[in-house]
Chain A
Amino acid sequence: MNTKEKNKVPLIEDMFKWPSDEPRIIASRCKKCGTVSFPKLTFCQNPSCEKKRENIEVIELSNKGKLYSYTVQRYKPPEPFRYEPYKPYGIGMVDFPEGIRIWGMITRMDNLKIGMNVKTTAGKLYEDEENEYLTWMWEPVD
């Protein structure tokens, strides 16, 4: 029987660093004013800042942050979201040292606490014949 490992690929490219032992969110930063955006933007979102492509650099965020708050999605969302086999999941927003707050699924749904330390990791959404499709997730480290 074929036990070849499937490729692990991001469901959407270029949103988090992969492949990596230490996945990180890929964001953009304005070299003029320091505004950080995710997903990365072509122009600075600060209304007082000039709209020039060359002002923007792509950065990888720190891989640790603090959980701003969280919830559990108890019911299965409709397509096109796919999380298989489906089970309820923790989801929340994380404050990063770079000043940005970002959404993501959490690797567990119990024993979560506002303010807890989490790190960025990669987790599986679903798979087909060839690939496992990944997204970024928050993993509690406290």
Chain B
Amino acid sequence: MKNREVAIIGCGLHPWGRFPEKSQPELAVEAINMALEKANMDWREIEFIAAGSPLWVYDGEGVNNCLSGTAIERQMGNIGVPVVSTANACATGTATLMVACMAVASGEFDVAIAVAADKSAMGFFRPQSRNSRYDPDYQRFVMTGYTNPTYWGVETKRRMEEVGTTEEDLALIKVLVSKAGAKNPYARYKKVFTMEEVLNSPMVCDPLRLYEICSTSDGAGAVIVTSLDKAKKYTDKPVIVEGVTIGTGSFGDQSLPLYMLSAFPRPGVPTLTESRNAIARTYKMAREQYNRRCPEDIDVIELPDNTSWHYLVYLDCILDLKPGEAEEMIRRGDTDPIDGKIPVCPSGGLASCGESVAAQGLYQVKSAVDQLKGEAGESQVKKDVKVALAQTYGYAGNNAACLLSRGW
């Protein structure tokens, strides 16, 4: 980052799953404990806290959601440092990392933590108010029955017509990603799926089937950052944050941020601009400061496989592919999560975790960090990893990207 280089010195996770017996702040504490241990650090050394706020203010834990940082700091013990709580839907975890990195890069703080815990609502997501005049999420839901997967189904159907994506392609993605999930101790689903099992799973929103859509989970992540020059005090293997940002869309986007009832597509504006803008900014940060060539230098990708459609469109966005190239890549096995040319989702992705919305970005960052350090155990990819990208997709046009490299 400009002004001061920033490095990750410790990551922690609470495993993904369902934990009704624990509150969100409790999940966060377990992730923080692990991150502190990795960084050989005491809680009192933290100077700044950026916490992620889950969306489920009504269905979830109320004040623990909207004031997540306050609740987590209280559970860890008040240490009187600045806390911000930020809500960016599925980009929340990475947003907390961006804020923590900027706090350190500015020189104002030496050690900052990004943390988020989320017990995501089960099943189809639903609006959190009954305000028919001002809540657009309520309006779209009651007037059209437009669940998130309906949008993904609509776009998948369109892609099939335009690009020639097949039902087998959609199933193959689940098969590929599940191979890695089975090897990740933090993943929720450890089953390796066959093509037949995926293709025989019930249709949810045509052409998307049950096993091609991620479920929702509880989980928590924490990432501690400091300046690169101070990082060696805490770890032999600091991981450099070459770029991290959240992204928003551009006016005239061809696609539709979830919850909006309409798009106003303008000529020359692409799809998923919130994602393309986040990726472009991250690449620019890495290019200007580290002479990074993007996407050529990226060795491994964690992308948001909310559905098999997402996996394809995020390959498009991250690698700047032509229509149909993503399908060719998966058919050739280029993106195999362990031994592919460019491994994708060695963590098992959202397909194997279920999305814990606010925490998901930090899960991806931890996976990327483990790959760089060679600490991913059975899910360590075969190729040498020097540069890793973590990318999220989110509700209402929230997106984030983070590019990491070895700092040793």
The chain A residues found within 8 Å of chain B, CB to CB, are 11-12, 15, 27, 35-39, 45-48, 68-75, 77-83, 89, 91-93, 99-105, 114, 125, 135-136
Contacts and interface: CB of A to CB of B under 8 A. Distances in A.
B203 interface: yes
A101 B145 contact: no
Nearest to A79: B126
Contacts of A75: 124, 204
Contacts of A102: 261-262
Interface stretch (B34-42, B131-139, B271-279, B369-377): B131-139
A101 B262 contact: yes
B156 to A, nearest CB: 8
A100 B251 contact: no
Interface in B105-146: 123-124, 126-127, 130, 132, 136, 138-146
A68 B156 CA distance: 12
Interface stretch (B63-71, B147-155, B351-359): B147-155
Contacts of B207: 71
Contacts of B161: 69, 114
Given A69-B158, A71-B153, A71-B157, A82 B251 contact: no
B321 interface: no
B265 interface: yes
Most buried by A among B127, B141, B157, B262: B262
Contacts of B261: 38-39, 102-103
Given A38-B262, A80-B126, A80-B127, A15 B143 contact: yes
B163 interface: no
Most buried by B among A15, A27, A46, A80: A80
A81 B141 contact: yes
B142 A12 contact: yes
Interface in B25-43: none
A74 B157 contact: no
Contact of B256 (A37, A77, A93, A104): A93
A101 B256 CA distance: 9
B154 A92 contact: yes
A70 B154 contact: yes
Contacts of B126: 77-81
Given A71-B157, A104-B144, 4 more contacts: A68-B158, A78-B124, A80-B126, A99-B265
27 contacts: A11-B142, A12-B132, A15-B139, A15-B143, A39-B261, A48-B251, A69-B157, A69-B158, A71-B150, A71-B207, A71-B208, A72-B153, A72-B203, A75-B124, A75-B204, A77-B126, A80-B127, A80-B138, A81-B141, A82-B142, A91-B145, A93-B256, A93-B263, A101-B256, A103-B140, A103-B146, A105-B145
A27 to B, nearest CB: 8
A101 to B, nearest CB: 5
B145 A77 contact: yes
A105 B144 contact: yes
B57 interface: no
Contacts of A92: 154
Contacts of B127: 80
Contact of A77 (B124, B143, B154): B124
B408 interface: no
- What 6 A-B pairs come out closest when comparing CB atoms? A71-B153, A69-B158, A38-B262, A69-B154, A71-B205, A101-B263
Contacts of A78: 123-124, 126
A91 B141 CA distance: 12
B168 interface: no
A87 B41 CA distance: 56
A135 B256 CA distance: 21
Contacts of B150: 71, 73, 91
Given A47-B251, A71-B206, A114-B157, A80 B262 contact: no
B62 interface: no
Nearest to A82: B142
B204 A101 contact: no
B132 A71 contact: no
A75 B146 CA distance: 12
A103 B141 CA distance: 11
A85 B92 CA distance: 38
Nearest to B155: A69
A116 B205 CA distance: 20
A77 B123 CA distance: 8
Nearest to B207: A71
